[in-house]
Amino acid sequence: MAAESKGKERKKLSLSDKGTLSLKNTPKIPDRNSGGHGVAVEVRRKRSAPSQTTQEDAQKDRTLTDEEREARIKALKSAEMEGASKPETSLPKPPPIADAARKKQEDERRRQEAQEAREKAEQDKQTAEKTAAAAPAAKEADIADQQAAENRKATGRKTAGYRVADEAAESEESKEKKKLAAPVKRGEKRRDTGRLTVTQALNRDFETRDRMPSLAAQRRAREKERMRMLAEKQKIEHVKQVREVTIPEAITVQELANRMAERIGDVVKKLLEMGVMATANQTVDTDTAELIVQEFGHKSKRVSESDVEMGMLGDDDDDENLKPRPPVVTIMGHVDHGKTSLLDALRQTDVAAGEAGGITQHIGAYQITMPGGQKITFLDTPGHAAFTEMRARGADVTDIVVLVVASNDSVMPQTIEAIKHAKAADKPIIVAINKCDLEDADPEKVRSELLQHDIQVESFGGDVQCIEVSAITKKGLGELEEAILLQSEILELKANPDRSAVGAIVEAKLEQGRGSVATVLIQRGTLKIGDIFVTGSEWGKVRALMNDHGKPLKKAIPGQPVEVLGLNGSPNAGDDFVVVRSEAKAREIAEFRTRRNRALEIAKTNKTGLEHLMHHMEKGNVKELNVVVKADVHGSVEAINGALLKLTEDNTEVRINILHGAVGGITETDVTLAQASGAVILGFNVRANVQARDLASKEGVEIRYYSVIYEAIDDMKALLSGLLSPEIRENMIGYAEIRQVFSVSKIGKVAGCMVREGIVKRGAGVRLLRDDVVIHEGKLKTLRRFKDEVKEVREGYECGMAFESYDDIKEGDVIEVFEKTEHARELE
């Protein structure tokens, strides 16, 4: 078996007919001297890809034994000897195949060039005949003919490329044979040398490998292609893309640049050219943003975030769906004119007794039922000067204004203010002259003074109803109710109860155990438990409804005041109250309003300009009193803030700074804020919890409690007065005349004086007068009598005086002695 395997391997390694390169039957080429002059054409078959040795054969070749290797070497040597001993044949050499193929390709290329030249000449000739004159055209035609003749001659010679009769061609051919072969360039096809080595036989893919470009060449080719593509891209003209930029109400410079796809630096530069100094994070208004968009060649589209509020109030109600509703009556007038007492008489209750200080400090909303079944809703507003906003709000949500005037006090400042609010809101007025049971009552005086303010009562020929009433004796209450019903019939008050509720916040407060509670006056629709609503920047879901007597309700109809529980936060008094269809809608509207309020606050703090800079410069010299205000209802917070700011609006030395004002009890957060800023905490009808009290006592924070608003205002006024710098006053205490001047070595010049009037004290202020002109003002350095230092010298005695840092004294000068005293000032 071993011998057979050796024989097989030996046979495989021998050079058989397929492996030897020998001359076989070649095509017979006729003699060039014969008369046939035929052309020898070689038919070459397509070279097939060299077969690849399998991994198994390669593995076998790598593991040859010594005997097999020696057998292979012997076989190779015997083959070489046989080739050398074989006689050379006398057959004629075949023509060089590679040279013939190359010549054929060159002839074909030259023929194509001649054809192209001929076509080009003909085109030039036609063009010349049309555009040029006859002589130049003929000249060009001759040139074209000569070129065509030469090309035909060249083509005729090259078409007979293999004619053996052409001796010139034969000599050229022999010369080219003698020439050395040109070096083969990388990437070109190599000529077959006619020899085959063992290495080449074992590695048949060498030709393919050598023909492939190197990795560096491939990288260079890719880089060249990339540069070519980049150059083509740069040649394309850049066309700017015009965008439609959406501009909201407020937008930052960075966001505007992103929406335009422009650089932030370019946008800031354009703003500077327009005179607007802004950074990337600052907000610009809609008009400025629109101008910037137009400057950059884009299209602008204004949108408003307030679009979320569109359709919130619903469509207008049809007349056929409207039904009569109770009138809303606001009682207004001066403080202590009996508004709440009159309302108590109408309700047959005693609200005024429960008010601190006997004055109303909240808006109270009540509803009474008449004997005939009609209902009237009353709003009681404060009469104190601090509650201007409350009165204005009451006039806005009301239908009829009842102006209460005391018959013994006549028209007062808040009465005039109430008249202005009613006229501004375009509401009808009914005058109720109260306290007519008093002895000094003078209703006629009231009527005549009302004429000065354009209130003409019916008794004076006007259209304003005037009723004389008394809350104590209940005189005229029926007539007042009839007047209100009559006026409501004239106004034809109607509303649609079969729709979602719309109302207004009359008052809002924060109660322990109940959370945020809002007093709402329903104006349209019906409010039910479970409704989702939006009020100001807050939203919520109705958890409970209470009437003015504290009884729970299932629903509230138009014209009815109710307390609503279920708010997420405390709204502001005067905010609208609207029921929406979903919680998502309510949250979206509330978030938009919160963002809007925050943007307005930021806009206030970011004011620029000369006036703002001057304000900050002045602020450095102004003393400030920081205050944290906490109250039971929002209306009280509003009233206190307005009254405190009014105290210092005309003062340039002191200013009150309200750090925080909110509804609810005093908490640790309020104490921490006050401690950090050195503020005073003002609690109006609220108290601090245990933790806040302990922290305040530990940190030394002052908390002041009040239940009457004018007491709080007077106290804050006294604190502001203490911040005022005291008033300096001069008191003349004596006069002295200089009679003689002495020179003392250690002291300098000393004036010997006689005290003419008053008293002279050491350390007092002095003025030196010469011919009734003040020439020096300073202090006494020394005061002596008979060489002894004394504290004072009285009238009629002589003394010696010396001035601090001044020696220009003469006989006859007068010394005026005075003292400066400080006097506390009060805030006006």
* Residue of higher predicted confidence among 564 and 748: 564
* Residue of higher predicted confidence among 293 and 184: 293
Is residue 681 very low, low, confident or very high in pLDDT (cuts 50, 70, 90)?
very high
Please write down the HEC assignment for all residues of 367-431.
EEECCCCCEEEEEECCCCHHHHHHHHHHHHHCCEEEEEEECCCCCCHHHHHHHHHHHHCCCCEEE
What tokens were used for 460?
């004076």
Question: What pLDDT was estimated at residue 395?
Answer: 59
Question: What pLDDT was estimated at residue 203?
Answer: 62
Instruction: Pick the closest to residue 91 from 148, 28, 38, 40 (CA basis).
Output: 28
Look up residue 570 and give its amino acid: S
What gap in Å lies between CA 338 and CA 726, rounded to an integer? 42
Give the pTM. Answer: 0.51
Place of tokens 């400066």: 820
* Cβ-Cβ contacts under 8 Å for 527 (sequence gap 6 or more): 501, 503, 520, 533, 542, 545, 555, 556, 562, 564, 579
Is residue 7 very low, low, confident or very high in pLDDT (cuts 50, 70, 90)?
very low
Question: What pLDDT was estimated at residue 606?
Answer: 57
Question: What pLDDT was estimated at residue 665?
Answer: 87
715-768 residue pLDDT tens = 888 888 877 777 788 888 899 998 888 888 777 888 899 998 889 888 788 888
Is residue 828 very low, low, confident or very high in pLDDT (cuts 50, 70, 90)?
low
Q: Average the pLDDT over 567-571 and give the result.
A: 87
pLDDT at 812 over 70: yes
733: left (phi over 0), alpha (psi -120 to 50) or beta: alpha
Question: What pLDDT was estimated at residue 16?
Answer: 47
Return the sign of the alpha-carbon dihedral for residues 116, 118, 121, 126: negative
Q: Are strands 680-684 and 623-631 parallel, antiparallel or unpaired?
A: parallel
Cross-strand pairs, 319: none
Question: What pLDDT was estimated at residue 383?
Answer: 45
CB 465 within 8 Å of CB 487: yes
215-257 residue pLDDT tens = 888 899 999 998 888 877 766 555 678 888 888 877 889 999 9
Question: What pLDDT was estimated at residue 533?
Answer: 93
Q: Average the pLDDT over 538-563 and give the result.
A: 89
Q: CB neighbours (10 Å) of residue 632? A: 21
Question: What pLDDT was estimated at residue 530?
Answer: 92
Task: Determine which of 22-26, 338-342, 599-603 has the lowest per-residue pLDDT on average.
Answer: 22-26
Is residue 154 very low, low, confident or very high in pLDDT (cuts 50, 70, 90)?
low
Question: What pLDDT was estimated at residue 683?
Answer: 92
Cross-strand pairs, 122: none
Question: What pLDDT was estimated at residue 543?
Answer: 92
What gap in Å lies between CA 300 and CA 292, rounded to an integer? 9
Is residue 635 very low, low, confident or very high in pLDDT (cuts 50, 70, 90)?
confident
pLDDT at 86 over 80: no
CB 571 within 8 Å of CB 663: no
Is residue 616 very low, low, confident or very high in pLDDT (cuts 50, 70, 90)?
low
What percentage of the chain exceeds 90 in pLDDT? Answer: 6
Question: What pLDDT was estimated at residue 42?
Answer: 53
Instruction: Look over the chain and give the mean of its residue pLDDT values, rounded to a whole number.
Output: 76
Question: What pLDDT was estimated at residue 354?
Answer: 47
What gap in Å lies between CA 537 and CA 763, rounded to an integer? 66
DSSP structure class, residue 44: P
Q: Average the pLDDT over 549-566 and give the result.
A: 88
Q: Are strands 465-468 and 429-434 parallel, antiparallel or unpaired?
A: parallel
The winner for highest mean pLDDT among 9-13, 638-642, 683-687 is 683-687
Q: CB neighbours (10 Å) of residue 261? A: 12
* Residue of higher predicted confidence among 132 and 34: 132
pLDDT at 192 over 80: no
CB 483 within 8 Å of CB 477: no
60-73 residue pLDDT tens = 445 667 778 888 88
CB 292 within 8 Å of CB 299: no
CB 791 within 8 Å of CB 819: no
Question: What pLDDT was estimated at residue 629?
Answer: 92
440-489 residue pLDDT tens = 788 888 888 888 888 888 888 888 888 888 888 888 888 888 888 888 88
pLDDT at 648 over 50: yes
Look up residue 503 and give its amino acid: G
Cross-strand pairs, 814: 737, 769
Question: What pLDDT was estimated at residue 602?
Answer: 73
Question: What pLDDT was estimated at residue 808?
Answer: 85
DSSP helix/strand/coil, 235: helix
What gap in Å lies between CA 190 and CA 242, rounded to an integer? 59
What gap in Å lies between CA 281 and CA 252, rounded to an integer? 6
What gap in Å lies between CA 741 and CA 134, rounded to an integer? 134
Q: What is the number of residues in the chain?
A: 828
